[in-house]
Structure 1
Amino acid sequence: MPELAEVELARRQWAACHGDTIIDVNVHNKARIYRDCPSAALGILKGKILRSSHAHGKRMLFTFAPELHLEVHLGMSGKLSTAPPNYSEQKHDHLIVYTAKAALIFNDYRMFGRVMLHDCANPWADLPPQPQDSKFSLIHVRKLIKRHPKKPLKALLLDQNACPGIGNWMADEICWRLGIHPGIATGTLEAKKLRKEIRFVTFGSLKHVADKNSKASSDGFAPGSYVANVPPKNWLFQHRWKKGGICPKCKTTLARDTIASRTTAWCPNCQF
């Protein structure tokens, strides 16, 4: 599933059309991405200007008026892209928003993604702080540890109410950099070190994935078909995806198991 940096990269695809007026909207009426919003309701975007956008964790918000926003979740396989304005619908295109300059496309072959409309000024007012936000402070992390002392570290990192945007590979990366087994109880952790590594991996992923790429691959963000530029080889990222991967630090073969309901990779020599 796309994580924080991949979602930011996806947002930037449509952000290229900030300031453009929507001249048409093409929807697939029965697609599951509209389970939270009737597809016909998106017709309200016609004639509106795409004014701004931003991401929060694994979600994106595209603003068309002070109280009109389109929220997009990519799910497991969703992707955003743009094409010339004469673009014709392709297989698995469930939403196409046309401007005079471009077509903004939401494609999702598994349809775990979703879209919804908001008619209020700040639909994200109650969302928790992201790891890159100033409000993700040492005090905030201490509160998370105190609130979830028995929760496995990886489960805390994957909790979108605790660490919005962090997913499987980022969680493994953080645990590896901490030198801690991903199944260890959160209550045993030092808040300062945990916050430091969470923010290091967060800002690093934005740098290596969102900033160094102009778009995702044609298959979105699948592990086997990701982006042209990825985190460097001294990150766990490049070694964790398949059995037989080795630790970038000590060259020990990585262990693999299911932790927090997700396939997890760690170094049995460096993490304990």
Structure 2
Amino acid sequence: MPELPETETIARDLHASVAGRTVAKVTVARPDVLREVGERAFRRRLRGVGIVGSWRRAKLIVTDLSTRDRLVVQPRFTGALIVDDGTLDPALLAYSTIRLVLDDGRSIHYCDVRRLGTVALMNETRFEEYSAALGIEPLDSTFTASQLSGVLRVSNQPVKKVLMDQRRIAGIGNIYANEALWRAGIDPSRAAGTIAAGEAALLRDSIVAVLEESIAARGTSFRDYRDAKGQRGGFAAKLQVYGREGQPCVRCGSRLVGTHAIDGRATVFCARCQS
């Protein structure tokens, strides 16, 4: 599932590749992925419109348009935004649900095998309302140790669940919550309110580090994730716990433990060096 590093990678690719272009034609093959507007309004409001730029909010890829509308894509499990110049392997576009043909002949495809992701068209007011319900961005300068400590100390839920709550901290998903907690030496099931200030500072630094490292590697690909160029991310080879249940901890050598007890999500941790 694309999390912050993956959606950040796609947004940066889109911005570099298509900012300044114009949407010449809109094709909707699977209207069930649309949100906020119907198919007819979607096509009408995008045709002939300029692309100002793309950026990320939480796990969303946001594209600003010359009409001040915003195209908001939430890839969820298998969604991908891919720019095709005519040379891509057709297999990458087999599950294209929406195609935006640009004025230079290239196309932006929203591809989604399971069609659980969404493509929304919002005006500025609606987007600001939507964004206001999301938490702080962990790569913003305002995401400090004291800010994280304040988020954690008011909750008795498992710390991993709090990190993944998009209303509190935006963009962290299962992969990077596992990785950050291992780096910080904190048991994922521990009550968030018991995390001391010093531990919160280490956790904050661990979150930022793992997210930035994954962005540098262009995200994590297991099965479906592709960047806007149709390529796989390279961070999977650098994961320390996620996907490594039963293997030795690289820090202490103990066997990593896997469980689904925390909110039904796959959690992998070291019972020896995470407390």
Same fold (TM over 0.5): yes
Shift of the alpha carbon at 1:199? 4.1
The answer to whether 1:156 aligns with 2:162 is yes
Question: Which of 252, 266, 269 is equivalent to 1:266?
Answer: 269
Deviates more, 1:165-174 or 1:186-195: 186-195
What's 2:42 paired with? 42
What's 1:108 paired with? 112
What's 2:190 paired with? 184
Q: Distance in 1 between matches of 2:48 and 2:220?
A: 27
Change (3 A) 1:195 1:72: farther
TM-score by length of 1: 0.85
Higher helix proportion, which one?
A: 2
Question: Which of 203, 214, 219 is equivalent to 2:224?
Answer: 219
Does structure 2 retain, via aligned residues, the 8 Å contact 1:85–1:100?
A: no
Change (3 A) 1:266 1:64: same
- 2:13 partner amino acid: Q
Shift of the alpha carbon at 1:94? 0.6
- 1:145 partner amino acid: L
The answer to whether 1:140 aligns with 2:174 is no
What's 2:174 paired with? 168
The answer to whether 1:230 aligns with 2:231 is no
Change (3 A) 1:239 1:141: closer
Q: Distance in 1 between matches of 2:197 and 2:22?
A: 47
In the alignment of these two chains, the number of paired residues is 262
Change (3 A) 1:159 1:218: closer
Q: Percent identity?
A: 24
Q: Distance in 2 between matches of 1:27 and 1:56?
A: 24
Question: Which of 249, 252, 257 is equivalent to 1:250?
Answer: 252
Q: Distance in 1 between matches of 2:28 and 2:135?
A: 31
The answer to whether 1:84 aligns with 2:85 is yes
- 1:219 partner amino acid: D
Q: Distance in 2 between matches of 1:45 and 1:157?
A: 36
Q: Distance in 2 between matches of 1:195 and 1:72?
A: 32
Question: After superposition, what is the alpha-carbon deviation per residue over 1:242-263, rounded to whole angstroms, capped at 9, x for unaligned?
Answer: 4422211012110011122211
Q: Distance in 1 between matches of 2:74 and 2:40?
A: 18
- 2:232 partner amino acid: V
What's 2:13 paired with? 13
Root-mean-square deviation (Å): 2.7
Q: Distance in 2 between matches of 1:251 and 1:216?
A: 26
What's 2:97 paired with? 94
Does structure 2 retain, via aligned residues, the 8 Å contact 1:67–1:120?
A: yes
5+ long unaligned stretches in structure 2 = none
TM-score by length of 2: 0.84
Q: Distance in 2 between matches of 1:231 and 1:29?
A: 31
Matched position secondary structure for 1:198:
helix
Q: Distance in 1 between matches of 2:220 and 2:256?
A: 30
Q: Distance in 1 between matches of 2:193 and 2:154?
A: 9
Change (3 A) 1:64 1:85: farther
Shift of the alpha carbon at 1:104? 0.7
Shift of the alpha carbon at 1:66? 5.8
Shift of the alpha carbon at 1:98? 1.1
